[in-house]
Amino acid sequence: MTTNPLASIIINNYNYDRFLAEAIDSALSQTYPHIEVIVVDDGSTDNSREIIAGYSDRIISILQENGKQAAAFNSGFAKSKGEIIIFLDSDDYLFPHTVEQVVSAWSPELAKVHYRLQVVDIEGKSLGYSSPQGNSPLSHGEVWKFILDKGVYVSTPTSGNALSRHALEKLFPIPDAYKLTADDYLSYQVPFYGNVAAIEEPLGAYRIHDSNQWALSTVSASRFQRFVRHDLQNFDLVKQKAKELGYECPSDLDQRSIGRLWSRIISLRLAPKEHPIADDRRLNLIHYGIRSLWKYSDFNWQKRIFYSLWFIWVGLLPLPLASPAITWLYAPQYRPKFIDWTVNKIRALTK
């Protein structure tokens, strides 16, 4: 690794003119001097390109027809020169010291450094929690072992990852099959090419708003169906990667991740006829969920009991009674105060 590695901040944008300037400004305002800022506009029809033009030669701009996330990532990476790559979603933004802290944590054997993101609303006001939710530490070290064992690891959204160029060169260009999920394509494969380091401090902001593809401002069946479909795609990707590298992958991988089972039972409850996995049944998913909690999760016994009851509640009660538990889990900004009080008490007991 060079003494002062170049960091490329690649901002991918599509019709987010209301947020774009804040993202670009956050990249240009980094306290670390050795950066390049690349903005890929993926066929926007709003005022985005006028905003980009206003930055002139302070940024490298790429204007292309709409090709979705993978196309934007491919174009930005092909143009970049950095040893460290950050893909910044244009509705998010970085804090001024983000790259400086990443570089301080960087070493040649790393495939990536990931860091928490402060969750904010459409106006940039903190919602009082970070992504990922909860107090489980971000995965670090030989993360590929966690992926093969559980099909998932504790990580952050796209903007919370600083990736090694050496690792990315083995994965680019991203195939069109992942045109909407290029972030997952990278998240599930990059750890196979080096260790992962974690910074528990939030170094950027993850914005929740109605247009965000993944962040939940409201709970809907269509979103959870999309979560399930992409989870299936990701499990297939892990199995392919294991086969490619000569590793064994458990046959029940899709039943080991508690978060993925949350999505499956919610999708089934909200719209059973449109649920992507035809063989799923409520009792089976309750069983898989409780089994995952007690056999594969790192939760303490209090959380295991709490979430076991959640599976029973969501799986068995009539939907009008189950719906609040779904909302409170995935959209904590809507939790009643007594729920937050209970959660905080549970956390206090586990310290």
pLDDT tens digits along 65-103: 998 999 999 999 999 999 999 999 999 999 999 999 999
What does the block give as tokens for 314? 């969501």
Cα angle at 196 between 193 and 200, to 5 degrees?
A: 160
Cα angle at 211 between 209 and 217, to 5 degrees?
A: 40
Cα-based torsion angle of the residue sequence 249, 252, 254, 258 in order, rounded to the nearest 10 degrees = -110
- Name, in order, each residue with C-beta under 8 angstroms of 311's C-beta and a sequence gap of 6 or more: 261, 265, 285, 286, 289, 290, 293
> What kind of fold does domain 7-207 have according to CATH?
Spore Coat Polysaccharide Biosynthesis Protein SpsA; Chain A (3.90.550)
pLDDT bucket at 350, cuts 50 / 70 / 90:
very low
pLDDT tens for each residue of 147-185: 998 888 999 999 999 999 999 999 999 999 999 889 999
pLDDT at residue number 152 = 86
d(C-alpha 125, C-alpha 120), whole Å: 5
Is residue 104 a contact partner of residue 14, using CB atoms and an 8 Å limit? Answer: no
Q: Mean of the per-residue pLDDT values for the chain? A: 89
The yes-or-no verdict on residue 39 having pLDDT over 90 is yes
3-class DSSP assignment, residue 342:
helix
Residues of the chain with CATH 3.90.550.10: 7-207
Q: Residue 221 class from Cβ within 10 Å (0-12 exposed, 13-18 middle, 19+ buried)?
A: middle
Per-residue DSSP letter, 161: E
